[in-house]
Amino acid sequence: MGTALVVGASLAGLHAARTLRLEGHVGPIVVVDADVDAPYDKPPLSKQVLAGEWERDRIVLPAATEDLDLDLRLGLRATALDASARTVSFAGADGASTVSFDQLVIATGAAARRLPDTAGIAGVHVVRTLHDALALRSELEAAPSRVVVIGAGFIGAEVASTCRRRGLDVTLVEALSVPLERILGAGMGRVCAAVHVANGVDLRLGVGVDHLDTIEVGGESRVAGVTLTDGSSVAADVVVVGIGVQLNVDWLADSGLSVDDGVVCDASLRAAPGIVAAGDLARYPSSRFGRMLRIEHWETAIAGGEAAARTLLAEQRGESAPVFDPVPWFWSDQYDRKIQLAGRPQPADECVVVEGSTDEFRFVALYGSGDRLTGVLGMNRPRHVVQMRMAMEEGITFTAALERMAAA
């Protein structure tokens, strides 16, 4: 069967390696990652780890401790793929190296975007890795006077929530006039904004960051505030930047693979013969939603890693690979609210609240485009989201979903 190389040891990559081994790959499986820490789960970073409730041993991925006979190599960053020669080049503390493969899983994920011209300013953080979360936690434990979170997406919202739970004053800055509008639409975005306000956050919408204000402390430059594009300033001892991610695909520039908002794959996550992609950077066609998708969700990373591995196994056996087209699903814990979204709605989709009250932050809303059910959003209504997610898997229409919820 030859050597299977998995580049990226996070959720998608590790589950791909696990599936390869457990479902029949008997050759070497080499798993390489740029992080120096043992593979870990990332959703708790902005919540339990940042809050000080969990330590690093609590978030180690179970697959990392199984006896799967994996050749795990940490602290190596992929720099180039030669698809013809079947090699990947890496750079690490000990210099450059090359690994040959027969089959390849690309799962290098994404890195946090950073504000320009902020490198080297103490007190400015992102939350993407364990190192990031622990560094920010250390600063929060010093009880700063004010934390400014830039970006009201899900990571920024969770960080703001965790900081408020610590009793800290928080200003949340969002360039859009409605947070999460591109994901949830304007109406539900306004509901999420109201959750922050109800929990004492100073929410600034429709305004960007002009620059960070700094002071010199002990010979280093440290953040002291944020000047916004409307001319106002907010004092800040700590700034957390949550303005999205940048896909780790630079190393694929001369690979011959199609890279366009991710690694472009077929319906089985195949990017080229013997090469698959999984996780945040895999972009694949969805007949369920009628367009190309790239999903940055925890459960999709697991399912995608497993599906990508099965595509390689099917190639080995000369079989047809299974189609990958699940209903995306994720959750976000903010304050005392659990927000869950199944599906992939677009901002222009129709949105109907079918149960509960948005004023009370306990509700279920359905999204539709034509008669296609595109999503279900729940706030503190997990049972309803699970039920409707299962119905989406079965292909329920928007009309039928509205009728089912009305009869419930």
Domain 4-109+248-317 fold is: FAD/NAD(P)-binding domain (3.50.50)
Question: Pick from 173, 149, 145: which is nearest to 237 by CA?
Answer: 145
Q: Is the pLDDT of residue 219 over 90?
A: no
Mean pLDDT, the chain, rounded, equals: 96
Domain 336-407 fold is: Enolase-like; domain 1 (3.30.390)
Question: Strand 337-343 relative to strand 372-379: parallel, antiparallel, unpaired?
Answer: antiparallel
Q: Which two tokens stand for residue 200?
A: 């004492």
Burial class (CB in 10 A: 0-12, 13-18, 19+), 158: buried
Tell me: the pLDDT tens digits for 16-25?
999 999 999 9
Beta-ladder partners of 110: 247
Query: To which residue do tokens 């920010």 refer?
Result: 136
What per-residue confidence (pLDDT) applies to 288? Answer: 93
User: Domain coordinates of the chain in residue numbers?
Assistant: 4-109+248-317, 113-244, 336-407
Rounded-to-integer distance, Cα 17 and Cα 31, Å: 7
Asked if residue 159 lies in contact with residue 276, where contact means CB atoms within 8 angstroms, the answer is no
What per-residue confidence (pLDDT) applies to 310? Answer: 98
What per-residue confidence (pLDDT) applies to 305? Answer: 98
∠ CA 96-36-121, nearest 5°, is 95
Tell me: the pLDDT tens digits for 143-192?
999 999 999 999 999 999 999 999 999 999 999 999 999 999 999 999 99
Asked if residue 299 lies in contact with residue 258, where contact means CB atoms within 8 angstroms, the answer is no
Q: 283: pLDDT confidence band, cut at 50, 70 and 90? A: very high
Q: How far from the centroid of its chain's Cα atoms is residue 250's Cα?
A: 19
Question: Strand 220-228 relative to strand 110-112: parallel, antiparallel, unpaired?
Answer: unpaired
Rounded-to-integer distance, Cα 152 and Cα 167, Å: 19
Q: Is the pLDDT of residue 218 over 90?
A: no
What per-residue confidence (pLDDT) applies to 364? Answer: 97
Q: 368: pLDDT confidence band, cut at 50, 70 and 90? A: very high
Domains 4-109+248-317 and 336-407 in one fold:
no
pLDDT over 90 percentage in the chain: 96
Tell me: the pLDDT tens digits for 65-107?
899 999 999 999 999 999 999 999 999 999 999 999 999 999 9
Q: 63: pLDDT confidence band, cut at 50, 70 and 90? A: confident
What per-residue confidence (pLDDT) applies to 160? Answer: 97
Query: To which residue do tokens 């708790």 refer?
Result: 44
Beta-ladder partners of 71: 30
Question: Pick from 377, 378, 380, 404: which is nearest to 391 by CA?
Answer: 404
Q: Is the pLDDT of residue 306 over 80?
A: yes
Average pLDDT over residues 283-294: 96
What per-residue confidence (pLDDT) applies to 50? Answer: 94
Sequence-ordered list of residues with C-beta below 8 angstroms from that of 135, at least 6 positions apart, any chain: 125
What per-residue confidence (pLDDT) applies to 77? Answer: 98
Beta-ladder partners of 174: 205
Average pLDDT over residues 311-338: 95
Helix axes 181-198, 154-165, angle to 10 degrees: 10
Domain 113-244 fold is: FAD/NAD(P)-binding domain (3.50.50)
Q: Is the pLDDT of residue 1 over 80?
A: no
